[in-house]
């Protein structure tokens, strides 16, 4: 897409693109966003996003990730250690298998777990 003085033009067709709405788009694989603004080519159906539109999609995706992947867990005890279980859906999404090592890192408001 190329910005001309009178609008955005499709790089394939050299036709002015129109601001429209894509009904469903995955900015991040597996996390669909609905009704996403984009520039659409009326001839070849090319879809292009401005930097601002991409930033909005990223923010929406991050918000959904926090809602979709928020798993309240109870802390239990195993031997002398406190234990927090990883839900199977999250382990599957992150490709974590039994016996695999992870790293626990402190953060300002708690901790996070990282694949080793």
CB 3 within 8 A of CB 16: no
* pLDDT tens digits along 18-77: 999 999 999 998 889 999 999 999 999 899 999 999 999 999 998 988 777 678 889 999
Q: How far apart are CA 57 and CA 28, in angstroms?
A: 9
pTM confidence score: 0.58
CATH, domain range 2-68: 3.10.20.860
Domain ranges of the chain: 2-68, 76-115
Residue 5 pLDDT grade (very low, low, confident, very high; cuts 50, 70, 90): low
Q: How far apart are CA 95 and CA 90, in angstroms?
A: 8
Residue 3 pLDDT grade (very low, low, confident, very high; cuts 50, 70, 90): low
Q: Is the pLDDT of residue 82 over 90?
A: yes
- The 10 Å CB-count burial string (b at 16+, else e) for 27-60 is beeeeebeebebbbbeeeebbbbeeebeebbeeb
């Amino acid at each position: 897409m190329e910005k001309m003085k009178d609008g955005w033009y499709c790089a394939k067709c050299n036709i002015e693109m129109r601001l429209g709405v894509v009904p469903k788009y995955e900015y991040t694989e597996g996390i669909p966003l609905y009704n996403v603004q984009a520039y659409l080519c009326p001839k070849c159906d090319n879809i292009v996003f401005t930097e601002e539109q991409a930033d909005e999609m990223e923010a929406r995706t991050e918000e959904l990730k926090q809602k979709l992947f928020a798993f309240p867990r109870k802390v239990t005890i195993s031997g002398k250690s406190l234990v927090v279980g990883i839900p199977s859906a999250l382990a599957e999404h992150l490709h974590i298998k039994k016996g695999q090592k992870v790293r626990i890192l402190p953060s300002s408001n708690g901790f996070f777990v990282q694949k080793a």
